[in-house]
Amino acid sequence: MTVRTRFAPSPTGFLHIGGARTALFSWAYAKKHGGKFVLRVEDTDLARSTPEAVQAILDGMDWLGLTYDEGPLYQMQRMEHYQKRLDQLLESGHAYYCYSSKDELDVLREQQKQQGVKPRYDGKWRPEEGKTLPEVPADTKPVVRFKNPQGGVVSWHDMVKGKIEIANTELDDVIIARSDGTPTYNFCVVVDDTEMGISQVIRGDDHVNNTPRQINMINALGATVPQYAHLSMILGADGQKLSKRHGAVSVMQYHEDGYLPEAILNYLARLGWSHGDDEVFDMQQFCEWFDLDHITPSAAQFNTEKLNWLNAHYIKTIDIDVLSADITQRLDKLGVSAKMEPPIKRVLELYRERASNLNQLASDIAYFYVRPEAHSDDVEKHITSEIKPVMQKMLETLKNTVWELEAIHHVVSSTVKENSLKFPKVAMPLRVMLVGIAQSPSVDEVMAILGKEEVLQRIESYLK
RNA sequence: GUCCCCAUCGUCUAGAGGCCUAGGACACCUGGUUUUCAUCCAGGCAACAGGGGUUCGACUCCCCUUGGGGACGCCA
């Protein structure tokens, strides 16, 4: 059987971290087995679905590089399929019309909750042999319900959780078409997963309880039941569920916040899945290794520190042109143009080693393009009246120096020697004068990159 | 309330009955490299939720307790 997996988000919000991992695992499973990955947009909830959300999801997938072989397919464009299957179930007696009103159902639910029992449909309109149904009310539009089997159990071997078994007595008759005729989630999923030939349904943990109903419907339709893999959820850093006001942010927010997609992907891959002691790997490697057997069934807490560590790693190792393009954009956002000298690639080659965040990296190197304003504390501390004459003398030497790293280095170290100083005594004031702060890579390297004219001018401005 | 699921260092995890004196990674601490900071390198701290079984032997299998999560919509 050919492997076909799917990612089926509902466009009611952006693509968040949990959805991204679900998509990643489905994508990787298809890749691993030479199958197809389908993107299906579950937009049957007209009230809450928006085109903006669709776009946000597409953008997120695109940024992460989770390419789909088919789709995006929209459920709203597949109405005739659902209608056909609905008719099939109605005709075969696996579904029936129910005239119970919403209010009626609400009252029922309230009563059941108060009695401490599981809220469920009471089966009022469920046709039964020898049962006489109530008289059909004149002005109510009926919903269609699936006639769930009443006895026995539904069980399946979940590919991550193992055997799961739920008694049919726990299940009531779900509404599969609303009174306006539109099909509901559980039914659309069943029709789509079977018609699209999905072989492995990889989805969030929260769907475990929908699975037995879906299996019953698939059986009633006479279709093949796919394999299921239910991924546990991703918790916030504090162990709490992610919610809108609590950590559930769009994956695009991570882009904004200075993360590389490579880092997010690698991090997500290791959240709930493992391959021995391997921690750092690219997506090609991941797709080769990925399997459902090594997914943890328990929930995982999101850990920003580890993400930062991976981000630092990828900042160090990705293609320098990619990094340059990214940082150039981030500098733009800071109002800094990196189009002039020094070449950003040269700067990044020196600075990428020390960064763990793209925004941080961009703001750290901004002083190559915009003269920094030094903090008065640093100026006071390092640019002392004793050192100024030394710097003045060095400035003169620098003017006659060939602008190469070795020569610059020589000037700095001779200054140290000639004045019998400790290296930092010279390096620190230099740093403050050149970059505005007391931390930077080797001053000679910074000087080499900054350029002669700029270096001379920046030093001079402190010696007037 | 009912049903379902889950449970190894602070966090992510390895672990398919003896390989476990429980391994790796992040974080943290210490030391080294370094021109400051960072990087990098070396070392260290740190866990099988509790109780019963099964077995010659249990982190691994079973049961219970506890704790956590999820589901119970004309939402998906």
Q: Is the pLDDT of residue A413 over 70?
A: yes
Q: Nearest-CA residue to the C1' of B1? A: A116
How far does the CA of A315 sit from the C1' of B57, in Å? 49
**CA-to-C1' distance for A147 and B64, Å?**
37
Whole-structure pTM value: 0.94
Q: What is the pLDDT of residue A15?
A: 92
CB A292 within 8 A of CB A157: no
Least confident of A19-33, A296-310, A398-412: A398-412
- What was the pLDDT predicted at A71? 80
Cα separation, A434 vs A238, in Å, equals: 42
Convert the pLDDT of each residue in A317-376 to its tens digit.
Answer: 999 999 999 999 999 999 988 777 899 999 999 999 999 999 999 999 999 999 988 888
* Whole-number Cα distances in Å, A397 to A394, A403, A434, A444: 5, 12, 17, 14
Distances, alpha carbon A411 to alpha carbons A210, A402, A443, A462, in Å: 74, 10, 11, 19
Burial of A366-391, coded b for 16+ CB within 10 Å and e otherwise, reads bbbbeeeebeeebbeebbeeebeebb
Vertex A214, ends A212 and A217: CA angle to 5°? 110
Q: What is the pLDDT of residue A419?
A: 84
Protein-proximal positions, strand B, CB < 7 A: 1-8, 10-16, 23-27, 35-40, 68-76
β-sheet bridge partners, residue A59: none
- pLDDT score of A245 more than 70: no
Two structure tokens written together for A38? 């389908």
Residue A143 CA, nucleotide B9 C1', distance (Å) = 54
Which nucleotide is nearest to A101 if distance is taken from CA to C1'? Answer: B74
| CA→C1' distance for A235 and B32 (Å) | 38
Q: Could you tell me the sign of the dihedral formed by the alpha carbons of A123, A126, A130, A135, in that order? A: positive
User: Is it the case that residue A464 has pLDDT exceeding 80?
Assistant: no
**Residue A300 in 3-state DSSP?**
strand
* Per-residue confidence band for A168, with pLDDT thresholds at 50, 70 and 90: very high
Contact A262, A256 (CB under 8 A): no
The lowest-confidence range among A56-70, A252-266, A346-360, A384-398 is A384-398
ipTM above 0.85, yes or no: yes
